[in-house]
Structure 1
Amino acid sequence: MKNKSFFIFLLTLVFLMLPHSAKASILNLENSEFLPTNQINPLKKSPPSESIKSIHLKKSLFSTRVQPFGLEWIRESIFTKESTLVDQTDLYILENNQDAYAFLQLTAADDDLLALLYFINEDGSLGDSTGFGVFANQNLDAIQLPIGRYALIIGSANGEVRGNYKVHWNSSNPIAQPNEAMKLLNISPNLTHISIYYSDDKILNNGKNVMTNLTYKDRRDFHVDYGYAHITTSIYNVYETGKIYIGHYRYKGIAHYFTDNALIIELKKAGYTYVDSYYQNINGHVTNWMKWEDPVLKLRTPRILGDDILDEYFGPHYLVVDLNTDEVIDFASPFNRVYAHKERENEITNVFSIN
């Protein structure tokens, strides 16, 4: 015990003598730029381009009342509908159950097809155009959409165009509150995932807050004749975070992983456990241990990562979330077994700071 205390005392002295810039971090993100302003889009409350505003589909194409019978009624906030336009128009009834950022995209065999969003009046009749819409095979668009019932109409300006199409919709993320920022972090192809930053403890990916219940667990099992062995690293109860980044993330080693949609979160305070367990029984001769010490400072765990002064020297420490799956994929820290034992290397590109 005295040797361990002396070891930690020496490390502390070394840390205090080092310049502040000296770091032993697994990831170096100090020179990252902030997310470009063209990616921080507050979204419009007004309709999109003048070319869309000038298009008026004839209401005579529809019955005076929009009824669910014979029409497709959509209550999901994320969907893709694939169909073929054989009449002048196709119509989908949308239920929007929250004030949300609505994203719309249309791909089609003919560029002259378009998708337009109409109000539905309280009496069930087709209302006016919201002015929100997109042409096929052009950029997606977005709008702040109040709670309500809407008609999404697929057609063309002259009513002559026909053909196959796919319409993509995502209204899963609510409009930011007055005390919140709004930074659009990522839009995946076909609108399957949309990530928005609201605050340091609220980053929504398709309406789910990825900053809550952050946990990580890595267990490596080793072959032992007549027994077993494993080392487990765990992160849980994230109390405090620091800088947050978005970018492309890759690690390689015994296992390989890549995502083009990674959220990298600096840990300031979090629960941390490191367990090294070994058991062998050869003809009744048992060798057994369970060590609860981290691989760097030899401090007993469970403990709070960030409480010890030397945690800062061996940091910053990061959790990495794949926003394509909402899963925590890495704990980038020398306190993680795979980095302590040189079993993993990581790389981050196209990285931007978001706070």
Structure 2
Amino acid sequence: MIEKNKTWPTIAASAVLAVVFMLPNMATPVYPYWKAKIGFSAGAMTGIFSMYIAGLVVSLIISGQLADRWGHKAVLIPGLLLAAFSCLLYMDAQSVLTLSVARVLTGFAVGTVVTAGMACVIELGGISRLRTSSLLASIAIMFGAGIGPLMSGFVAQKLAEPVAIIYKIEMLAIVICLGLVCILPLQKLPVPDTPLRLKLPAVYPQNNIHIALGVSVYIPALTSVSFVAALAPTMFSHQLGSNSPLLAGAAVALTFLSASLIQPLIGKLKIKTLLSSGALVCILSLGFMSASVIHHSVFTLILAGVLAGISQAMAQLGAISLISQKVPANVRAQGNALFSLGGYIPAGILSGISGFVIDLVGLTAAICLLSGLVSLLALGGGAFVLRSKI
């Protein structure tokens, strides 16, 4: 049995979360570069962006089961290798197909970290520190998601050919993470004596309500963040006439870094308070997002992004805490996968169609329409949480 409550392994595992979560949003500031080089519409851009969800969904379906069967390390190492390969594809992308494949592999890598990586942080933190470990994992995810686009936006602003440098930096970080994962003192599981039968991730029936409560708020919160990440370049171009990669990257970074910074302040709130407040903040964020395109206000757009990040932080921390406290350890990786599937599939569909809706009816009408739809989802999720007995 491994010794629990060691600080460095928990921090190291959290660093792996942060590095891999840098990868999905690093592409946002350099989409204008690819758009000029390859040529595609706003609809195609958000379509490429949401291909990430396709890889993520497949990974979430299988990674949790593999991690619960063979151990977290056996899933994390292949996931990191896929992340490194996706960096190679980004560096050499000459077509929409190559970018789409890179996004799929990025999603697959993130899926392994969402399931095995978060469960790994909880395991290393120990039973006595479940809430602290959940908080650390959630902060790491948001921090990585924020630093990624900020770094890539800075490089893209300074260099005419930024892509190779951006993804070489990420590859170096991934190689360091591979070394960290190899030496983490994770518990070794006995070799299974039954054949592997892959199925949809599942928890015990009594835990389904815990997953549903988290998902009900996470869907609208994640969708609002996805709107900011996918549409920041387009919205800044429309409102400022600027295609600055640093500006787009900073907007996305601010969204996620605000989520990272707020979490220590809300870490001790009750789970019901976290989830219900997350729904309310999500509705506020979507209202400001609509106002930003109606009044052409950059400040309002930035405020919408900050509120979207805080909303996701509340929903994510509340859900992770609920899973870590209520879902048994032997199916916790599948619980994480099930929660992420429930959030990412609807959010991916909504953010994926947003670009095509913009092409069809225009930016202002599309954002207002989609924001109204997602606000209704947030309202329903918040009511569901308030009526629950958690």
TM range (shorter): under 0.3
Higher strand share: 1
Higher helix share: 2
Give the greater-gyration-radius structure (CA).
Answer: 1
Higher relative contact order (CA 8 A, sep 6+): 2
